[in-house]
Structure 1
Amino acid sequence: MALSTMRIAKVHETGDSWLADCSTRSDLVRQEWEAEALAPITTQALARGRGTARRHDRRHAADRDAPARPDPG
């Protein structure tokens, strides 16, 4: 059963969203399957990235708040 071409916005249970351009029902099913298969990977990668950014910010804050080193000379 062919559907007219449509753009579908989906939100995965994890909060990830994606857009799909589908012209047939099988395209829609395939894209839903791919998005669900990749969602855990994407969510984990984003979580790692946020953790890295927080560590990076803390390091810079520690450098900024450290007392100035005396000039050796």
Structure 2
Amino acid sequence: MEQARIERVKKNSAGDITDVMINGNVYNIGEAIMMAKDGRIAGVNVARARNGREYLRSNPDATAENNLDNLPTL
């Protein structure tokens, strides 16, 4: 199975990512987290905040441009 990459993100007024675009399709963050857990999204992992909420995080590398917060917005 080939992994897809997140192309664009949508953020709410607090700056939290609410939706992502993958291969031209938009998924809400819950769907994207499930896809990442299934290994269908490259370059990200699922992390857990102190309050227990899961979120997507870019895998660490030397390139800031591919960080989720730096991707183009929807």
TM over 0.5: no
- Bigger-Rg structure (1/2): 1
Q: Specify which structure has the bigger relative contact order, considering alpha-carbon pairs within 8 angstroms and separated by 6 or more residues.
A: 2
What's the TM-score bracket when you normalise by the shorter of the two chains?
under 0.3
Which structure carries more helix by proportion? 1
**Per residue, is there more strand in 1 or in 2?**
2
TM-score (normalizing by structure 2): 0.22
